[in-house]
C-alpha cells in the first residue's frame, strides 16, 4: 500500500507536469498492442464480443509478456521524471518514522505492540508482561521470516489462553491464501504443525491445544469451512466442524472479549447468522443464536449471562441494540438498549464490564457514545474539527474503565487516546509522525455539500494549503468509492502533503453506495440505483469547479477496486471533466465477472450488483459496466494498476 500510494503521487504530479507545461513525452514511445481474438459471450439471448477474453489465462506466457511490456511502457513513458520520482520518494519516506512503534494494548496480562527496526520493511511483534517497564519478548521478527521471499505478509496472530503458544498466518504470494504456523513462545521453537489454504483467521480454545480455523474454497476462494486442529497432530487429521453450503455466504471465526465463547458467523450482503461455542468445551457443538432470515443482519457480543445484539430487525434500517438472555437469546425476549433512530446510523459497538460504547454516525460524521450499563447514562466523545474520523481501537480488556480510541482528520495525523469512561479524562498517547516540517496550522480543511438534480446533498471533504486562491487555477485530486456500504472518512494521509505543498487541492466525495449518511445512503447506491454513485461523483466535481477549487484541465480522479468501477464509469460518462484518471485494481468488467461463478466474490455479491442471469440486472449493469461502454472519444490520461494474484479484483 505504501508503494501504491507513492506510485499514485509521483504519477499524478508527473501527469500534471506533462499536461500543463511544454514537457512532453516523445511520440515515438508506442504502447504495446494486445492481440485480438474474437470471443462471443452469450447471455439471455444477447451476444457481446470480447476480443481480449483470452487474457484471463494467468499462466499464459503471452499474457505475462504483454503485462511485462506494459510495465516497460510505463517506465519509458515516465523516464523523464526520474529525478522527480527520487525527490518524491525522499519526501514521502521522510514522513515515515524509521523506528516507528505502535501504541501497546493490553490483553490477558500482557502488553502487545509492534515496532519497525530502522531501514527494515517488516514489523517485529513484541510483548511485555504486566507493565511496560518489564523485559521485551520478541514474538515474531517478520524481517527474518521474509528473507528469500519476493513477497511476505503476516496477516495476524493469536496467543493461547495460557500465553505460551502462538499461532500466526502468512501469505507468500499475495493471493490471500494463508498458511498457519505455530511457535512455542517460551522456547522459541517453530512447531512442525502447518495448515495450508486458510483465510488467516484462527481462534484458540481455552484448553491451549485446540485451534479453530477457516478454509477457503480452492476455486472461488470463498471462506466456507470451519476446521479444528489439535496441536502436535497432522493437519490431515483435522476435523471438519461446519460447511457453509449457501454460496452467497462466507464464514468467519472469533473469540468473545471475555474469552468465554467462540463465535462462528455466516454472512452475506444482507443476512447473518451466529453460532456460539463454550471456549472451555472445544469438543462441544456450536449453538445457533438467531437463525438466518432474508434481510436480517445482526452482530452479537456476550456479556456475563446476557447477550448484546446489534440488529436491523423490525424495519430498524439504521439498526438498534438489544439485550437478551444468553441462555434464551430469541429476539422476542430482548429489551431495547439503544432504539432505532432514522437520523442516526449505528455502525458498531464494544462491550465492557460496566460500559457499552456505541459508534454512531449522524449527518455523515462518527460520534462515540459511552453508555453506563448500570444507570443508562450516556456521554459523547467528539471533536471540534470537521470533517474528521474517529473509531474504536484495540480494547481487549473486559473489566476496565479505559476506552482506547483513534482519531484523525485531513489535517491531524492518526492519533490514539485513552478515555476514562468513569471520570471523562482523555489522554493523548501518540500522534503519528508526519515529517519534521509538518505543521497542521499550515493547512485548511472544509466540509462542503454538492446538490444533485434530485435535491440530494452530497458531502465533500476538502483540504488544501492555507493561502490558496480559489481562482480555478489549482490542480485537484478527487477520490471516491461508494460501494458495499463502506464509508470513506476524512483521514490523514501523510504522502498527500507532497501534493498539498505543491498547490494541489485534495477532495473526498462521499457518494451514495457508502453508509456515510445511514443505511438509505447505501441502498440508493447499489443494484438498480448504482448509477447514483457515478452521478454523485460527477456532481461533486462540477461543484468544486464552480467554487473555484480547480478546473477540468487540472482535475484528477482516483478510485480503487469498487472505487475503480467509479473512475471507470465516469471516464466513459464525462471524460471532459478530468485531465487524468487513476484506477487502482479497478472492477471494470462487471458483466463478465458477475456471470462467472468460479471467481471469488461473484455469487456472494448478487445483493450488491444484481444477478446478470436476470434480465433487469443484466441490462442495467451492461448500461454502466466500464469495459462494455468504451467508445471512440477523447479520454483523460490514465494510470490503471492490477495485481496478477489479486483475489478480490482479478487482473
Question: Which strand ranges, in their side-by-side order, compose the sheet holding 105-107?
Answer: 105-107, 110-115, 124-129, 137-141
pLDDT recorded at residue 10: 55
Mean pLDDT over residues 119-148, rounded?
Answer: 94
Look at 155-164, 278-287, 467-476, 595-604 and tell me which has the smallest mean pLDDT: 595-604
Residue bearing the bigger pLDDT, 438 or 175: 438
pLDDT recorded at residue 221: 84
Give the span between the Cα atoms of 462 and 450, in whole angstroms.
12
Q: Residue 80's pLDDT band (boundaries 50, 70, 90)?
A: very high
Which single residue is written with the C-alpha cell 476506552?
A: 403
pLDDT in tens, 191-245: 999 999 999 999 999 999 999 999 998 888 889 999 999 999 999 999 999 999 9
Give the span between the Cα atoms of 189 and 182, in whole angstroms.
9
Is residue 293 over pLDDT 50? yes
Is residue 4 over pLDDT 50? no
> Model-level pTM?
0.91
pLDDT recorded at residue 599: 74
Distances from the Cα of 229 to the Cα of 13, 276, 383, 486, 519, angstroms = 51, 18, 46, 34, 39
Angle at which helix 615-624 crosses helix 531-546, to 10 degrees, equals 30
Q: Which CATH architecture has domain 2-93+437-641?
A: 3-Layer(aba) Sandwich (3.40)
pLDDT recorded at residue 649: 85
Look at 2-16, 398-412, 516-530 and tell me which has the smallest mean pLDDT: 2-16
Is residue 356 over pLDDT 80? yes
Q: Indicate the average pLDDT of the chain.
A: 93
Q: What share of the chain is helix, strand, coil (3-state, %, to 5)?
A: 20, 35, 45
Mean pLDDT over residues 313-317, rounded?
Answer: 95
pLDDT recorded at residue 22: 44
CA atoms within 13 A on the CB side of 462: 25
pLDDT in tens, 475-509: 999 999 999 999 999 999 999 999 999 999 999 99
pLDDT recorded at residue 23: 43
Amino acid at each position: 500500500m505504501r508503494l501504491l500510494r507513492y506510485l499514485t503521487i509521483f504519477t499524478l504530479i508527473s501527469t500534471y507536469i506533462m499536461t500543463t507545461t511544454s514537457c512532453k513525452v516523445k511520440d515515438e514511445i508506442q504502447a504495446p498492442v494486445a492481440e485480438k481474438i474474437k470471443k462471443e459471450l452469450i447471455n439471455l439471448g444477447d451476444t457481446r464480443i470480447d476480443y481480449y477474453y483470452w487474457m484471463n489465462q494467468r499462466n499464459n506466457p503471452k499474457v505475462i509478456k504483454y503485462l511485462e511490456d506494459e510495465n516497460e511502457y510505463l517506465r519509458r513513458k515516465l523516464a523523464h521524471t526520474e529525478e522527480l520520482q527520487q525527490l518524491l520518494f525522499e519526501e514521502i519516506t521522510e514522513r515515515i518514522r524509521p523506528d516507528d512503534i505502535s501504541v501497546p494494548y493490553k490483553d490477558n496480562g500482557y502488553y502487545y505492540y509492534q515496532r519497525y527496526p530502522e531501514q527494515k520493511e517488516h514489523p517485529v511483534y513484541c510483548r511485555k508482561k504486566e507493565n511496560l517497564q518489564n523485559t521485551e519478548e520478541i514474538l515474531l521478527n517478520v524481517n527474518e521470516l521474509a528473507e528469500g521471499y519476493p513477497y511476505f505478509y503476516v496477516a495476524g496472530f493469536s496467543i493461547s489462553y495460557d500465553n505460551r503458544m502462538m499461532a500466526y498466518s502468512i501469505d507468500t504470494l499475495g493471493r490471500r491464501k494463508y498458511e498457519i504456523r505455530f511457535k512455542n513462545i517460551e522456547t522459541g521453537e517453530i512447531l512442525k504443525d502447518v495448515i495450508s489454504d486458510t483465510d488467516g483467521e484462527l481462534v484458540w480454545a481455552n484448553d491451549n491445544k485446540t485451534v479453530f480455523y477457516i478454509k477457503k474454497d480452492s476455486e472461488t476462494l470463498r471462506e466456507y469451512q470451519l476446521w479444528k486442529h489439535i496441536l502436535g497432530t497432522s493437519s490431515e487429521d483435522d476435523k471438519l466442524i461446519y460447511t457453509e453450503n449457501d454460496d452467497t455466504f462466507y464464514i468467519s471465526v472469533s473469540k468473545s472479549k471475555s474469552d468465554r465463547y467462540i463465535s462462528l458467523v455466516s454472512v452475506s450482503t444482507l443476512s447473518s447468522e451466529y453460532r456460539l461455542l463454550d471456549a472451555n468445551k472445544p469438543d462441544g457443538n456450536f449453538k445457533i443464536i438467531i437463525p438466518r432470515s432474508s434481510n436480517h443482519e445482526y452482530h452479537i457480543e456476550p456479556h456475563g449471562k446476557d447477550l448484546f445484539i446489534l440488529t436491523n430487525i423490525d424495519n430498524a434500517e439504521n439498526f438498534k441494540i438489544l439485550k437478551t438472555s444468553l441462555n434464551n437469546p430469541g429476539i422476542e425476549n430482548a429489551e431495547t438498549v439503544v432504539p432505532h433512530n432514522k437520523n442516526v446510523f449505528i455502525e458498531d459497538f464494544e462491550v465492557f464490564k460496566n460500559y457499552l460504547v456505541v459508534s454512531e454516525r449522524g449527518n455523515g460524521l462518527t460520534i462515540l457514545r459511552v453508555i453506563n450499563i448500570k444507570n443508562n447514562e450516556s456521554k459523547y466523545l467528539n471533536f471540534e474539527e470537521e470533517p474528521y474520523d474517529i473509531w474504536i481501537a484495540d480494547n481487549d480488556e473486559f473489566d476496565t474503565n479505559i476506552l482506547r480510541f483513534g482519531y484523525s482528520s485531513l489535517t491531524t495525523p492518526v492519533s490514539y487516546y485513552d478515555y476514562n469512561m468513569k471520570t471523562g479524562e482523555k489522554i493523548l498517547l501518540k500522534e503519528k509522525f508526519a515529517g519534521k516540517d509538518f505543521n497542521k496550522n499550515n493547512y485548511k480543511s472544509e466540509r462542503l455539500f454538492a446538490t444533485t438534480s434530485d435535491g440530494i446533498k452530497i458531502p465533500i471533504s476538502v483540504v488544501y494549503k492555507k493561502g490558496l486562491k480559489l481562482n480555478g487555477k489549482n490542480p485537484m485530486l478527487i477520490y471516491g468509492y461508494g460501494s458495499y456500504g463502506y464509508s470513506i472518512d476524512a483521514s490523514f494521509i501523510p504522502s498527500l502533503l507532497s501534493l498539498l505543498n505543491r498547490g494541489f487541492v485534495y477532495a473526498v466525495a462521499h457518494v451514495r453506495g457508502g453508509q456515510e449518511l445511514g443505511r438509505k445512503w447505501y441502498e440508493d447506491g447499489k443494484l438498480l440505483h448504482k448509477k447514483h454513485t457515478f452521478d454523485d461523483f460527477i456532481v461533486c466535481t462540477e461543484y468544486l469547479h464552480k467554487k473555484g477549487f480547480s478546473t477540468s484541465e487540472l482535475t484528477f480522479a482516483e478510485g480503487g477496486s469498487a472505487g475503480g468501477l467509479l473512475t471507470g464509469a465516469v471516464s466513459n460518462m464525462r471524460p471532459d471533466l478530468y485531465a487524468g484518471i487513476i484506477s487502482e485494481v479497478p472492477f471494470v468488467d462487471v458483466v463478465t465477472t458477475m456471470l462467472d461463478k468460479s471467481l471469488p466474490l461473484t455469487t456472494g455479491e448478487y445483493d450488491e450488483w444484481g444477478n446478470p442471469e436476470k434480465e433487469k440486472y443484466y441490462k442495467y449493469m451492461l448500461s454502466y459496466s466500464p469495459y462494455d461502454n468504451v467508445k471512440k472519444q477523447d479520454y483523460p490520461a490514465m494510470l490503471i494498476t492490477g495485481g496478477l494474484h489479486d483475489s478480490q479484483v482479478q487482473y
